[in-house]
A and B are shown apart, each in its own frame.
Chain A
Amino acid sequence: MEKVFMKGCEAVAEAAMRAGCRYYAGYPITPQNQVPEYISRKMPKLGGVFMQGESEVASINMIYGAAVGGTRSMITSSSCGLSLMSETIGWLISAELPVVIANFQRGGPGIGDIGPTQQDYFQATKAHSNGGGRMLVMSPGSLQEAIDAVFEAFEKANKYRTPVYIQLDGISGGMMESVMMPDAISDEEVAALKQKAKEEWAVGKMEGRERREIVGGADSGLPLQTLNQKLEAKYLEMEKNEVKYENYLMEDAEYVITAYGIGSRFARAAVNILREEGYKVGMIRPINIYPFPFEAYDAIDYSKVKGILSTEMSIPAQFIHDVQIAVKGRAPVYNYSTSGGVILDAVEIANHAREMMK
């Protein structure tokens, strides 16, 4: 463990390699180019493989190719790049391959622009791909959380044999913070992970065992309904085990601000401003956005709480839909959101909260 001052993209890249990532593929797209640049410098020295794909489509398929052999693999991109990867993300879910995918969100729809946003909430949590497959989706609120999420993502990917998605943004990719960087896992551990995958499910040398087939869909021995029932059981397991959120100053709260990821930093600052003014305001911050922490909103004392302000960097607001489902009409839910690289502002959030509290 060492304390370092690092830029978000590079911190994620470094964390991935320390967590045992030995294959990375990607295609240039702003605002995450420092990830492939950093990994291209360092990965060959670790005996791993870096490849720049000819497109996002090729890159995510390279990840599929590395993953079927049991190599710990990661890909990063941004928004429209993730759209291009959509089909193969469905294959990764369906073929139950443990990879880590990170999205440094920019604007949309379409090419949008390169400013930071949280405009891909539905894409991340509801529909990565056709067919309704799901992934564990983490949304770190700081670089320390992002680094810890990378380590955790590889572990959970292995545990559930699923792709795990880390929802970041252009601010997180570009900002610098002091972080505690965990030690790298050893080369022996990296080799053991791959060996275990080869023994259990990956393709490769097949002496002494039956042939294996990997496909993102029904295979010759598994009808599609059976596969989807198996995948659903995994989603339910994740919904049971992987709910993760933070309550901030919620004990006596009469009003709640709710936000996630980078947006929660501004929401927290707004809560602090309002607390200094004497308002009893707290914050609920989902850390994993799938599974969504419905229980955090069930735990609100609705006899006391008179309103909830949902705030995010997306117009139209998307996160608010899950908040409304979670609140179930037990309190009014208000929205304040920005878009197109307009960063949430604590003073503006506080202004909207005061309006709610009038």
Chain B
Amino acid sequence: MKTVYKKPECIGNKKPNSYCPGCMHSIVVRLVAEVLEELNVVNSSVMFAGVGCDGNGAFGYLDIDTVISPHGRALAVASAYKRCNPENVVFTYQGDGDLIAIGCAETMHAANRGENVTVIFVNNAQYGMTGGQMAPTTLAGMKTTTTPYGRDPKADGAPMHVCEILDTLDNPTFLARGTCTDPKNIIQTKKYIKQAFQNQLEGKGFSLGEIVSACPSNWGLSPLKSIDFINEKMLPEYPLGIVRDR
């Protein structure tokens, strides 16, 4: 019998992931694990996770050295670590609340310094772990537990486009947005993630892969309906593709 697919060896050895059914975090973590194995850097990688579903779910699931950062600060933590330990492969794993709400300053400045790190940014348009509150990426009109009448862009702000905002800076190297709604997009997203790591190995600088993701539990939709929501609502706001590749 021929093996056509197997689970990466560096996930799920100690404990299962703690993500909800239909959550795309588990796919993203698996893609990261595959890329680390393909690049042969599992043993030299350090993950700097944020606080939220990003940190909690991945904690102990991905079998590599892991540092949880104070909420929003992963890129400040990772920047210093990488400067002191350039031989290690360093990546942050952050959600939208972590990366562009509370961590906006740290994200902007790490990108502006062109830190040679990889950022895996999972955008599910709300705060997952705390129960579905509004995030900077919440769509206009989208109901969350703190925008019960729908997000009003005039009062609550409009959705923030991380790749496009960082594209205004001189120093980032690679900014791309994928999703995990179907095999084609999963394969494409993996290519982005791989390039974001490959750039670091080549010393090219700040590389960010954004993944538009589903949160069925807080969206109040089934996993399948969540995929429809991404295709119909999220992707028109957050178009897929490479925003910058230098």
A contact set with B: CB distance below 8 Å: 22-23, 25, 49, 51, 53-55, 57-59, 61-66, 68-69, 71, 87-88, 91, 203-207, 211-217, 219-220
Which B63-84 residues have a C-beta within 8 angstroms of A? 63-70, 73, 76-81, 83-84
Q: Are A205 and B80 in contact (CB under 8 A)?
A: no
Q: Are A66 and B44 in contact (CB under 8 A)?
A: no
Q: How large is the interface on B (under 10, 10 to 19, 20 to 34, 35 or more residues)?
A: 20 to 34
Residues of A with C-beta under 8 A to B66: 203, 211-214
Question: Which of A23, A65, A68, A212 is B76 in contact with, Cβ under 8 Å?
Answer: A65
Residue B168 lies at the interface, judged by CB distance under 8 Å to chain A: no
Q: Which of A59, A205, A207 has the most chain B CB atoms closer than 10 A to its own CB?
A: A205
Q: Are A54 and B83 in contact (CB under 8 A)?
A: no
CA distance A25 to B73 in the complex (A): 14
CA distance A159 to B63 in the complex (A): 29
Can you pick out 28 interface pairs between chain A and chain B where the beta carbons lie within 8 Å of each other? A23-B83, A49-B83, A51-B79, A51-B80, A54-B106, A54-B108, A58-B76, A61-B70, A61-B76, A62-B77, A62-B79, A65-B80, A66-B80, A66-B83, A68-B77, A69-B81, A88-B70, A91-B70, A203-B66, A204-B65, A205-B44, A206-B43, A211-B64, A214-B66, A216-B68, A217-B68, A220-B14, A220-B60
Q: Are B59 and A25 in contact (CB under 8 A)?
A: no
7 tightest A-B contacts by CB?
A: A65-B80, A65-B77, A62-B80, A215-B68, A61-B76, A61-B73, A203-B65
Question: Which of A55, A68, A212 is B81 in contact with, Cβ under 8 Å?
Answer: A68
Task: Determine how close the nearest CB of chain A comes to the CB of B90; give it in whole angstroms.
Answer: 9
Q: Which residue of B lies closest to A216 (CB)?
A: B70
Residues of B with C-beta under 8 A to A219: 59
Residue B85 lies at the interface, judged by CB distance under 8 Å to chain A: yes
Per DSSP, chain A at the interface is: mixed
Question: Which of B70, B88, B108 is A87 in contact with, Cβ under 8 Å?
Answer: B70
Q: Are B60 and A213 in contact (CB under 8 A)?
A: yes
Residue B127 lies at the interface, judged by CB distance under 8 Å to chain A: no
Q: Are B105 and A65 in contact (CB under 8 A)?
A: no
Q: Are A204 and B88 in contact (CB under 8 A)?
A: yes
Residues of A with C-beta under 8 A to B64: 206, 211
Q: A23-B83, A65-B69, A211-B66 are in contact. List 13 more A-B contacts (CB 8 A).
A: A25-B80, A57-B105, A61-B77, A64-B80, A65-B48, A66-B83, A68-B67, A203-B66, A204-B85, A204-B88, A211-B64, A214-B68, A215-B67
Task: Determine how close the nearest CB of chain B comes to the CB of A269; give it in whole angstroms.
Answer: 43
Contact with A along B74-117 (1 / 0, CB 8 A): 00111111011101100000000000000001101100000000
CA distance A204 to B44 in the complex (A): 6
Q: Are B68 and A213 in contact (CB under 8 A)?
A: yes
Q: Are B76 and A205 in contact (CB under 8 A)?
A: no
Question: Which of A23, A55, A88, A91 is B84 in contact with, Cβ under 8 Å?
Answer: A23
Task: Determine how close the nearest CB of chain A comes to the CB of B74; give it in whole angstroms.
Answer: 8
Q: Are B70 and A62 in contact (CB under 8 A)?
A: no
Contact with A along B179-197 (1 / 0, CB 8 A): 0000000000000000000
Question: Which of B43, B76, B85 is A62 in contact with, Cβ under 8 Å?
Answer: B76
CA distance A22 to B84 in the complex (A): 9
Residues of A with C-beta under 8 A to B63: 211
Q: Which residue of B lies closest to A194 (CB)?
A: B84
Residues of B with C-beta under 8 A to A206: 43-44, 64-65
CA distance A66 to B79 in the complex (A): 9
Task: Determine how close the nearest CB of chain B comes to the CB of A56; give it in whole angstroms.
Answer: 11
Question: Which of B84, B106, B108 is A69 in contact with, Cβ under 8 Å?
Answer: B84
Residue B233 lies at the interface, judged by CB distance under 8 Å to chain A: no
Say yes or no: A65-B78 contact (C-beta < 8 A), given A49-B84, A211-B64, A220-B59.
yes
Q: Are A58 and B84 in contact (CB under 8 A)?
A: no
Residues of B with C-beta under 8 A to A214: 66-68
Residue B15 lies at the interface, judged by CB distance under 8 Å to chain A: yes
Q: Which residue of B lies closest to A23 (CB)?
A: B84
Residue B46 lies at the interface, judged by CB distance under 8 Å to chain A: yes
